Amino acid sequence: MPSLFYSFFVPALFVWLWSTGFIGAKYGLPFAEPFTLLLIRMLLTLVLLAGLAWIMKTRWPGWRAAGHLAVTGMLVHGCYLGGVYYAIQDGMASGIVSLIVGLQPLVTAAAAVVILKEAVSARQWLGLVLGLVGVALVLVEKFGINSQAPGFSPWSLLWAGFALAGISMGTVYQKRHGTGADLVAGTLIQFAAAAALFALGAFALETREVVWSLQLKLSMAWLVVGLSIGAVLLLMWLIRRGAASQVASLFYLVPPVTALEAWLLFEERLGGLAMTGGLIAIVGVALVVTQKKPA
């Protein structure tokens, strides 16, 4: 039973939690602008994490390690979440946003070649090509001249690309400057850095008006407790168990789960070409993150 718990139930729980982040964003965004919503989410999360750190008597990293954690936080949480939220606000379907940012393993693998001088197998290059072809098919359906499918603005595509770049660069940076910091302390520092970025964006670009509806309160509660605390700590715990490659493979399951949830909750529908492209992209990511075992 313990083996089944760690090999199936915990990864399945993580995939489900992570996928609901896109859904929670769509529920909350009608009542607050993206950076404002994210700033409130991060501040509430920091209060909970600070309490957890005090109870657990958390060991804090040195200034150098804290600096690396802050940079990672601004990229992995700040740029990623900011881009995702603005893409959804600008009209991109949750399932498509999830698919685009789900290409993170492909971009990370490509960046690792340039920055970390890592070798990439022919299998991984094939995955990279398939991922790009898959996303291209989705975009052809949405932007095609004769397309009848509901589209989205080019700005939303740029925001989704910004999110993808942020989480990919942050992953490479974390891999290069990993600190081995305490789980709670490291997460708190990363979220504090992301909160600073969201505050800058909220005060520079937004009105900061918030309509505290019941829907927003419920959405915020889930985003804070379920996502910022539950999913992120679970992700870090899985990585600490030495299953980094297995954890990476979980991310290619997030887009189809998100698309199913968005269809059930918001009636977001993808046409045949987009669904085909999504499946091709998922196969591409799977080829990158799952390696053939030596005979």
pLDDT in tens, 25-36: 999 999 999 999
Report DSSP letters for the chain, one per residue.
-HHHIIIIIHHHHHHHHHHHHHHHHHHHGGGB-HHHHHHHHHHHHHHHHHHHHHHTTPPPP-HHHHHHHHHHHIIIIIIHHHHHHHHHHTT--HHHHHHHHTTHHHHHHHHHHHHS-----HHHHHHHHHHHHHHHHHHHHHH-TT--S----HHHHHHHHHHHHHHHHHHHHHHHS-----HHHHHHHHHHHHHHHHHHHHHHH----B---HHHHHHHHIIIIIIIIIIHHHHHHHHHTT-HHHHHHHGGGHHHHHHHHHHHHH-----HHHHHHHHHHHHHHHHHHSPPPP-
pLDDT at 291: 58
* Local structure of residue 6 (DSSP, 8 states): I
Q: How confident is the model at residue 189 (pLDDT cuts 50, 70, 90)?
A: very high
- Per residue in 114-168, pLDDT (tens digit) is 776 666 677 777 877 787 787 777 767 655 544 444 556 778 889 999 999 998 8
Highest mean pLDDT among 124-128, 166-170, 203-207, 280-284: 203-207
- For the chain, give every domain's residue range: 2-289
- Which pair of tokens denotes residue 53? 């750190």
Average pLDDT over residues 30-47: 96
